[in-house]
């Protein structure tokens, strides 16, 4: 049974320039103890999807316009704000992209880890402090008893990110949402953080929703991948089939653009153009003006999400009559 099910999620922003359909009918699920990778270029709706799940959208501009977000069968969109506060940090935790702007600069690291323990677990100060020291040690920060008394500015970037992970995992959440948690880190620290998250997932049996634009990171972290473009899912598959035989032209372009040590190419492949503005999405397939396999129909109509053999999904007219098809989801 899925731990989290997102069904036809639509998240819109009402601006002076018009309505922005940042997420437009996204569906996926995450099983306990598994990692789901969500990838795509900046502006494709990855982070907005995570903020919708946590119900942290900026009000009143952002709103969930439709769909369901089911956690163990309970629709989170039906919960009041006090009910969601009991879930955030306890059942679902989130690691943000830049820890220096996510950690409170006027509170010690220990105090920030202790806060959810007191609120959600009912611990007293001594119990919460002991747990904070334990978590700091668990994520590999040296001298944990000293670190809990220090402030964010006294820690390196890698240590701050580890402290964010310690805070997120303190209450043993069933689901951890990681929004590009290693983007600002150097490659050696990045590898350590990814190894740590995998180790903690296995040890605590937490599910992870890992958001990134880096397909190389996803290959190391996830068992299943959702590829998003312009607010929609364009492909979904297990990691090995997706990397071995990508179906959607956008996924193929992303994989071609990954640098390879064994390649004799002088220049990297690129996908021409940029993600269109959500205020001015093109008609038909949102990717058609960047696609080298565009057909007339792509300009006029958007493809449904086709179900392919091997538990794969792809949103592309190329698979309308494919022998791989098993049906259409919408």
Taking the whole predicted model, whether its pTM rises above 0.85 is answered as: yes
Let me know: does 173 contact 89? Beta carbons within 8 Å. Answer: yes
Let me know: does 302 contact 317? Beta carbons within 8 Å. Answer: no
Torsion angles phi and psi, residue 313, rounded to 5 = -135, 145
Closest C-alpha to 196, from 226, 228, 158, 225: 158
DSSP H or E segment with residue 200: helix 187-204
Pairing of strands 35-39, 62-71: unpaired
3-state secondary structure at position 296: helix
Q: What is the pLDDT of residue 279?
A: 85
Which DSSP symbol is given to 326?
E
- Can you tell me the distance from the alpha carbon of 314 to that of 312, in angstroms, rounded to the nearest whole number? 7
Q: What is the pLDDT of residue 117?
A: 94
pLDDT digits (tens, 9 = 90+) for 172-212: 899 999 998 877 677 887 888 888 888 888 888 889 999 99
Q: Where are the domains of the chain?
A: 102-171, 251-328
Which DSSP symbol is given to 279?
T
Q: What is the pLDDT of residue 286?
A: 94
- Can you tell me the distance from the alpha carbon of 245 to that of 251, in angstroms, rounded to the nearest whole number? 10
CA distances from 140 to 152, 175, 281 (A): 16, 21, 45
pLDDT tens-digit profile, the chain (330 residues): 799 999 999 999 999 988 999 999 999 999 999 999 999 988 899 999 999 999 999 988 999 999 999 999 999 999 999 999 999 999 999 988 776 678 999 999 999 999 999 999 999 999 999 999 999 998 889 999 999 999 999 998 888 888 988 898 889 899 999 998 877 677 887 888 888 888 888 888 889 999 998 888 898 899 999 999 999 999 999 999 999 999 999 999 999 887 776 666 667 788 888 888 888 888 899 999 999 999 999 999 999 999 999 999 999 999 999 888 887 776
- Can you tell me the distance from the alpha carbon of 118 to that of 123, in angstroms, rounded to the nearest whole number? 5
- Residue 75 bridge partners (DSSP): 70
Q: What is the pLDDT of residue 265?
A: 65
Q: What is the pLDDT of residue 52?
A: 96
Alpha helices by DSSP H, listed for 78-176, are 81-87, 99-102, 109-121, 125-138, 144-147, 157-169
Q: What is the pLDDT of residue 329?
A: 74
Closest C-alpha to 221, from 257, 244, 191: 191
Closest C-alpha to 237, from 1, 86, 28: 28
Work out whether the CA dihedral 226, 205, 77, 211 comes out positive or negative. Answer: negative
**Length of the chain in residues, anyone?**
330
End-to-end CA distance of the chain: 22
Q: Which residues contact 161 (CB under 8 A, 6 or more apart)?
A: 95, 99, 181, 182, 185, 189, 193
């Amino acid at each position: 049974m899925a731990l989290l099910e997102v069904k036809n999620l639509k998240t819109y922003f009402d601006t002076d320039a018009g309505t922005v359909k940042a997420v437009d009918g996204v569906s996926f699920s995450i099983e306990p103890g598994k990692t789901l990778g969500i990838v795509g270029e900046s502006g494709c709706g990855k982070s907005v999807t995570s903020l919708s799940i946590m119900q942290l959208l900026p009000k009143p501009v952002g709103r969930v316009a439709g769909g369901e977000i089911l956690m163990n069968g309970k629709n989170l969109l039906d919960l009041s704000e006090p009910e969601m506060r009991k879930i955030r940090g306890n059942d679902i935790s989130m690691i943000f992209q830049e820890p220096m702007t996510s950690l409170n600069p006027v509170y010690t690291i220990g105090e920030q880890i202790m806060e959810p323990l007191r609120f959600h677990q009912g611990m007293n100060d001594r119990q919460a402090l002991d747990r904070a020291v334990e978590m700091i040690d668990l994520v590999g920060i040296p001298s944990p008893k000293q670190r809990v008394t220090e402030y964010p500015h006294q820690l390196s970037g890698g240590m701050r990110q580890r402290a964010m992970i310690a805070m997120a995992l303190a209450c043993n959440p069933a689901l951890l949402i990681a929004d590009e948690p290693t983007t600002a880190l150097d490659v050696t620290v990045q590898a350590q953080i990814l190894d740590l998250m995998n180790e903690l997932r296995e040890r605590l049996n937490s599910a992870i929703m890992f958001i990134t634009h880096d397909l190389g990171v996803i290959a190391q972290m996830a068992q299943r991948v959702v590829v998003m473009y312009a607010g929609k899912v364009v492909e979904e598959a297990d990691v090995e089939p997706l990397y071995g035989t990508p179906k959607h032209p956008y996924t193929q372009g992303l994989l071609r653009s990954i640098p390879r040590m064994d390649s004799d190419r002088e220049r990297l492949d690129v996908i021409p153009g940029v993600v269109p503005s959500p205020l001015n999405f093109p008609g038909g397939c949102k990717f058609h003006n960047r696609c080298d396999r565009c057909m007339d129909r792509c300009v006029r109509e958007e493809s449904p999400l086709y179900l392919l053999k091997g538990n794969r999904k792809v949103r592309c007219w190329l698979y309308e009559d494919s022998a791989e098809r098993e049906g259409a989801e919408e």
